[in-house]
Amino acid sequence: MTSSSTPAPASPGAPDSQGPLRRLTARGRDDTHRAATPLELFFDLCFVVAIAQAGIQLVHAVAEGHAGEGILNYAMVFFAIWWAWMNFTWFASAYDNDDVLYRVVTLIQIAGVLVLAAGVSRAFEDHEFLAVWLGYAIMRVAMTAQWLRAARSSEGPERTMARRYAGGVLACQIGWLGLLLLPEGARPWVFLVMALLELCVPLYAEKDHPTSWHPRHIAERYGLFTIIVLGETIAAATVGVKTGIDENDSLGELVPIAAGGLLIIFAAWWIYFVVPIHSHLRSSKQAFLWGYGHYLVFASAAAIGAGLEVAVEQAVGKAHISTLAASAAVTLPTALYLLTVWALHSRHFKVGIAQQLVLPTTALLVIVCTFLGDWAVLAAGIVSALAVATGVTLTARMVARERATQAPAPVS
């Protein structure tokens, strides 16, 4: 019998204490106690700096009446932020060995996102993407180095997969030069083509050998990033309300916006975390769809905060847009968030037509709230909160019925 003091053998690729440099081999999907590391949390927080910059510029564009242009620039910049974050997250779930070189390369990626964040304002205002491209290049070259290191430590189909990733990442990075070299009118088409090619790289790289990502770890990482983005949304909305009060003494106009925004964000958190999504991530096909769909989850969650700032600026007379447009800046991203979370999470765990219709119906009602003038944001918040209450009630009734049917018959 093995002594109780003998440590259990580490799973392949798991961090150990055998020196500052170790082989970057795949970790097992059956790793126990697989959780987000302090480095991953630091990585997420630094990425939120870039998200905050994109949100600020979106506020300025919408408040000045340039919503279409602002949304397009926001979508382009946010894609770069989200895609670099997502690539690292899935790579780390499979290959994090936490040695010195891995940490240094990850810190280089963090430096890249800070460079990207510094260039967001020029991308929005002057359509100058050099700093954004450079920051993205730093992150992507670092990611390529990680994949080449994984290829060196593996063999067979796994080595081929890692090399495909490295080659695909570099090829796409070269393609993004089109944002710098082609005329401004061609840039939306460059973005569309290159975004599609980026999305195809993991599908091509893993067609013969999937990475050994960890379902619980991935679900936790996405959940933590959702919390951070929602926290940034609260911070942005708070700053907007504080500025409105300090500069305009408009407490009466801002209370409905603040209350409605808080209800929306609370409901957004509740709806996302109400189900244990890791149990649904059983195959790479499901995981790809789920992971890609979070572009809309993260982008809409961050846009809610920007919309609340726009609503505040319109309420105090600083925005050059109508009340309807300001309300739509909040209700439309809220509705998109609800629909996306339903499609990715909730629908897999709902039983019966009533439960399935809660979030789609709520999204529709939130859009209708757009037309309620100064009370639109508060109404949208109340509708979102009622959706949570309805979901809780329906679930409680279903559990009660199940317990009643399983209860033993009384003895006569």
User: CA–CA separation, 170 vs 172, rounded Å?
Assistant: 5
Please give the DSSP secondary-structure letter assigned to residue 321.
S
pLDDT under 50: residue ranges of the chain: 1-12, 17, 412
pLDDT of residue 6: 36
Task: Please tell me the total number of residues recorded for the chain in this structure.
Answer: 412
Residue 253's alpha-carbon distances to 250, 315, 316, 340, 374, in angstroms, are 6, 6, 8, 31, 8
pTM score: 0.87
Which pLDDT belongs to residue 113?
92
Contact 70, 124 (CB under 8 A): yes
pLDDT digits (tens, 9 = 90+) for 177-209: 998 998 888 888 999 999 999 999 999 999 888
Which candidate, 307, 221, 222, 293, places its Cα nearest to that of 264? 307
Determine contact, residues 294/85, Cβ cutoff 8 Å: no
Q: Are 53 and 309 in contact (CB under 8 A)?
A: no
pLDDT at 116: 93
Q: Which amino acid is residue 44, in one-letter code?
A: D
Question: What is the C-alpha separation between 77 and 63, in angstroms, rounded?
Answer: 19
Q: What is the distance between the alpha carbons of residues 5 and 148, in angstroms, rounded to a whole number? A: 38
Tell me the C-alpha to C-alpha distance, in Å, between residue 181 and each of 60, 95, 124, 190, 195: 27, 36, 17, 11, 17
Q: What does the pLDDT read at residue 308?
A: 92
Architecture of the CATH domain 215-403: Up-down Bundle (1.20)
Q: Give pLDDT, residue 232.
A: 86
The string of pLDDT tens digits covering residues 338-362 is 999 988 876 666 666 767 788 899 9
The structure tokens 């992507």 sit at: 140
As a whole-number percent, the residues of the chain with pLDDT over 70 amount to 86
> Is residue 176 classed as helix, strand or coil in its secondary structure?
coil
pLDDT on residue 289: 84
pLDDT, residue 352, reads: 62
CA distance 120 to 130: 10
CB 110 within 8 A of CB 50: no
Helix or strand (DSSP H, E) at 126? none
Evaluate whether 385 touches 265 at the Cβ level (below 8 Å): no
Ordered by start, the domain boundaries in the chain are: 38-205, 215-403
Where is 373: in which H helix or E strand? none
pLDDT (tens digit, 9 = 90+) per residue, 91-138? 998 888 888 999 999 999 999 999 999 999 998 888 889 999 999 999
Q: Please answer whether residues 307 and 330 qualify as being in contact, where contact means their C-beta atoms are separated by less than 8 angstroms.
A: yes
